[in-house]
Amino acid sequence: MTVSIPLEAASAFFRVNSSGASMKSASFIFDRRLYELLQEQGRTTFTTRELRDAYAERLGEGFSLNDVRRYVYEQIRRMLRLGWLVLDEERRTRGQVYHLKTLPARAQLELIDDGFELRLMAMREADQERSLVEPDVVAESPVPDAEQHLETLLKEIRLDFLSAMGEAERYKQLFEDMPHLRDKVESEYLDARDRSSRLIGHLRAVENTLKTLAATR
């Protein structure tokens, strides 16, 4: 199971042998369940609700449909930004239709298991942290749109960071267990380590921006 690791410890882990790492195509970390759904015949056109219902069916019972919808919609937004998904020509305020396109050549797809569960865990941890820092905040005070967007972005980056760091740790363990594999997969290890290092910077930038917004309220 993936666990949250302090940024300071992650920084120390990745500050080794950074020279000589080559840049590859941009990695796009994506939910394996969702990817398998999108590969089904006839799944090239859909709405958020249709994709949510299909994803919820794969999850089974025990999860809130509202949480599933929020998660699926976040993934749809990521796909739109990447160019993997496009809006239908007919724009709608409800029931917007999306069209699946070919994955852009610049994107290196990396599938992860239990993406929804990891995101839900990160969201709950963030909620707990906020309640500890601001125990007297009244719930009826709405969060500004900019702050909501940054909170969502922070959760996305945190999930990507944990996935990349776990990948790098696994490569390092493989090197220790099977040293003869180092020459074959060292470039993948360096790539995962570099992604994690960059994501640490992204995390700090978003966290600092949120702190600045909170201080000016």
Residue of 14 and 128 predicted with greater confidence = 128
Residue 103 contacts residue 86 (beta carbons within 8 Å): no
Q: Can you give the pLDDT at residue 188?
A: 84
Residue 137 has pLDDT above 70, yes or no: no
Q: How far apart are CA 11 and CA 15, in angstroms?
A: 6
Domains of the chain (ranges, CATH numbers):
1-25+113-217 (no CATH), 27-105 (1.10.10.10)
83 Rama class: left (phi>0) / alpha (psi -120 to 50) / beta: left
Q: Is the pTM of this model over 0.75?
A: no
Partners of 85 in beta bridges? 100
pLDDT band of residue 163 (cuts 50, 70, 90) is confident
Residue 162 contacts residue 118 (beta carbons within 8 Å): yes
Q: Can you give the pLDDT at residue 106?
A: 85
Residue of 84 and 16 predicted with greater confidence = 84
Q: What is the pLDDT of residues 38-52, one digit of tens each?
A: 999 889 999 999 999
Residue 98 contacts residue 76 (beta carbons within 8 Å): yes
Which pairs with CB-CB distance under 8 Å and at least 24 residues apart come from 40-47?
A: 43/100, 44/99, 44/100, 45/88, 45/97, 45/98, 45/99, 45/100, 46/97, 46/98, 46/100, 47/95, 47/96, 47/97, 47/98
Residue 164 contacts residue 140 (beta carbons within 8 Å): no
pLDDT band of residue 142 (cuts 50, 70, 90) is very low
Residue the block writes with tokens 């299909």: 54
Residue 113: alpha-carbon gap to chain centroid? 12
Residue 39 contacts residue 30 (beta carbons within 8 Å): no
Q: What is the pLDDT of residues 22-41, one digit of tens each?
A: 334 568 899 999 999 999 98
Tokens of 86: 């496009």
How much is the mean pLDDT over the chain? 79
Quick one: which H or E segment has residue 107?
Answer: strand 107-112
Q: What is the pLDDT of residues 65-116, one digit of tens each?
A: 899 999 999 999 999 998 999 999 998 888 999 999 999 988 889 998 888 8
Percent of the chain past pLDDT 90, that is, above it, reads 27
Residue 197 contacts residue 18 (beta carbons within 8 Å): yes
